[in-house]
Amino acid sequence: MVMSQLSGSIKGALARMSKAMVVDEKVLNDCVNEISRALLQADVRFETVRGVQASIKSTVNLQALADGTNKRRVIHRAVVAELRRMLDPGKPSFTPSKGRKPASVVMFVGLQGSGKTTTCVKYADYHRRTKGFSPALVCADTFRAGALDQLKQSAAKAGIPFYGSHTESDPVKVAVEGVDRFRNQEGCDLIVVDTSGRHRQEAALLEEMRQVVGATRPDLVVLVMDASIGQAAFEQAQAFRQSAPVGAVIVTKMDGHAKGGGALSAVAATKSPVIFVGTGEHIPDLEAFDAKSFVSRLLGLGDLSGFMDKIHDVIPGPADDNTSPYQILEELIKRGNFTLRDLRKLFRAVQSMGPLGQLVSMIPGGLISDKFNDKEGQAKMKRYMTMMDSMTDAELDGSSSPKLMNQSRINRVARGSGRPVREVVDMLEEHKRMAKMMTKLPNVKRPNDINHIAN
């Protein structure tokens, strides 16, 4: 994963600081320098890193701390706060409202190859799939041959209405026609406009962008950046920002080997938040980004909100139900009894969530053990699910289902699923461990509580 090296280095720096016999200026400096080096290696801009470094040092005034203050905790908190600040411009971006009339217009800008066209479709699909919007797509990229067909095909695949023209070469005209067509169309509440890119942020591209913005007056301009952009991100983001009212950033290809830190710190150049990250080539490969959750994940603190979003994608409520994703796990926690059926549901959700490592690291408190965090772990999870498929409803649902599982029932499940008895016992042990952990999570509920975890 893009951020694993950065995560490892920062966690290492904090761990070394925590283990020091006495926390003095030298320990603080070593810790801050190590974190700074890790950020620079992840391509975060030098000026930004220097700012983070200075802020941590000025927040943590070891000499001024009262006797008995937990210095390790003070440093830890300052690091968390500064990393969050680096990624959070402090003002939210425009968010489209479902059912709004006239429809919200969201325009995508970026360099060619950044993933702009793909991300337009992902963004439209995300809003429809997870929030019930009725989006439409407009192709105003008249520069790149093939852009129109690419967007048209992806739109058809996703079942999203589309507008574009093979004959009109003026991007402003196409954009205006497309927006006009959908703006007052019955049922359409979100219009996503794809614009041209170029290989560099040259004058012609920026001028064209300015004109399309002027003619369509979008509610939000999203700058799409490739995670591999590195240190050039700041300058590029600034150039776009000077020509268009960029209000949000999406960083693509976070699934690759790029370091990603540069693109993420483009927040400083645009003064706008990163709202999503692209995590693959397929339409559902888009994750909502939240600076707080990201830092929690980076530091291995567990990210309940990210986990909940994923759970919600996999086990959505009824289409018109406003159940928040937090309510799903919250319900399990509140109910107080974590049944084997819940475990099966959770494993099923985890299995359909793509790279498992990503997910396991999001779950607070190691709810799902690290032993499921690789290929062998995934296979094990599948075998556990097969064993649970051989259980009766009473065994799956019984409030004290493990107690129900006496030796003869265990033998029966082993026979029914074709697995050794030892493995059935292992699975029941794992369930017991998780049920116990569930009871320790009662205060971790909503996104604001992520603060509580990180602190």
- Is residue 129 within 8 Å of residue 154, measured between CB atoms? no
Residue 355 C-beta: closest distance to ligand GDP, Å: 12
Residues 6+ apart with CB under 8 A from 56: 32, 35, 75, 78, 79, 82
- Residue 196 binding ligand GDP, by CB under 6 A: no
Among 7, 36, 48, 117, binds ligand GDP (CB under 6 A): 117
Nearer to ligand GDP, 240 or 372 (CB): 240
Nearer to ligand GDP, 44 or 277 (CB): 277
Residue 259 C-beta: closest distance to ligand GDP, Å: 15
Residue 373 C-beta: closest distance to ligand GDP, Å: 22
Among 9, 18, 59, 112, binds ligand GDP (CB under 6 A): 112
Edge to edge, the sheet with strand 135-140 lists 162-163, 135-140, 190-195, 104-110, 220-226, 246-252, 274-278, 286-288
Identify the DSSP state of 13: H
Q: What distance in Å separates the CA atoms of residue 59 and residue 66, rounded to the nearest whole number?
A: 14
The residue count for binding ligand GDP (CB under 6 A) is 18
Instruction: Using alpha carbons, list the distances in angstroms from residue 402 to 264, 282, 391.
Output: 46, 40, 12
- Residue 290 binding ligand GDP, by CB under 6 A: no
CB count in 10 Å sphere of residue 221: 27
Nearer to ligand GDP, 115 or 161 (CB): 115
Q: What distance in Å separates the CA atoms of residue 171 and residue 187, rounded to the nearest whole number?
A: 25
Residue 205 C-beta: closest distance to ligand GDP, Å: 12
SS3 64: helix
Residue 434 C-beta: closest distance to ligand GDP, Å: 32
Residue 166 C-beta: closest distance to ligand GDP, Å: 18
Q: Using CB under 6 A, which of the segments 38-46, 164-172, 277-285, 359-367 binds ligand GDP? A: 277-285
Instruction: Using alpha carbons, list the distances in angstroms from residue 315 to 123, 350, 352, 442, 445.
Output: 20, 11, 10, 21, 18
φ/ψ of residue 167, rounded to 5: -100, -30
Instruction: Count Cβ atoms within 10 A of the Cβ of residue 420 and give its class: 0-12 exposed, 13-18 middle, 19 or more buried.
Output: exposed
Nearer to ligand GDP, 45 or 253 (CB): 253
The residue nearest ligand GDP at its CB is: 278
Among 89, 96, 115, 364, binds ligand GDP (CB under 6 A): 115
Among 261, 280, 302, 325, binds ligand GDP (CB under 6 A): 280
Residue 193 C-beta: closest distance to ligand GDP, Å: 13
- Is residue 17 within 8 Å of residue 27, measured between CB atoms? yes
- Residue 114 binding ligand GDP, by CB under 6 A: yes
- Residue 281 binding ligand GDP, by CB under 6 A: yes
- Residue 355 binding ligand GDP, by CB under 6 A: no
CB count in 10 Å sphere of residue 92: 12
φ/ψ of residue 249, rounded to 5: -125, 140
Residue 197 C-beta: closest distance to ligand GDP, Å: 5
CB count in 10 Å sphere of residue 115: 22
Instruction: Using alpha carbons, list the distances in angstroms from residue 451 to 160, 209, 240, 441, 455.
Output: 38, 39, 33, 14, 6
- Looking at residues 209 to 268 of the shown chain, list those that interact with ligand GDP (rule: CB under 6 A): 252-253, 255-256
CB contact burial 225-237 (16+ within 10 A = b; e otherwise):
bbbbbbebbbebb
Residue 120 C-beta: closest distance to ligand GDP, Å: 8
Nearer to ligand GDP, 104 or 118 (CB): 118
Residue 66 C-beta: closest distance to ligand GDP, Å: 48
Return the CA Rg of the chain: 25
Nearer to ligand GDP, 256 or 366 (CB): 256
Q: What distance in Å separates the CA atoms of residue 127 and residue 284, rounded to the nearest whole number?
A: 11
Nearer to ligand GDP, 267 or 286 (CB): 286
Residue 150 C-beta: closest distance to ligand GDP, Å: 6
- Looking at residues 52 to 111 of the shown chain, list those that interact with ligand GDP (rule: CB under 6 A): 110
Nearer to ligand GDP, 48 or 142 (CB): 142
Nearer to ligand GDP, 36 or 117 (CB): 117
Residue with tokens 């190691």: 366
- Residue 125 binding ligand GDP, by CB under 6 A: no
- Residue 278 binding ligand GDP, by CB under 6 A: yes
- Residue 345 binding ligand GDP, by CB under 6 A: no
Instruction: Count Cβ atoms within 10 A of the Cβ of residue 75 and give its class: 0-12 exposed, 13-18 middle, 19 or more buried.
Output: buried
Q: Summarize as ranges the residues that interact with ligand GDP (CB under 6 A).
A: 110, 112-118, 197, 252-253, 255-256, 278-281, 285
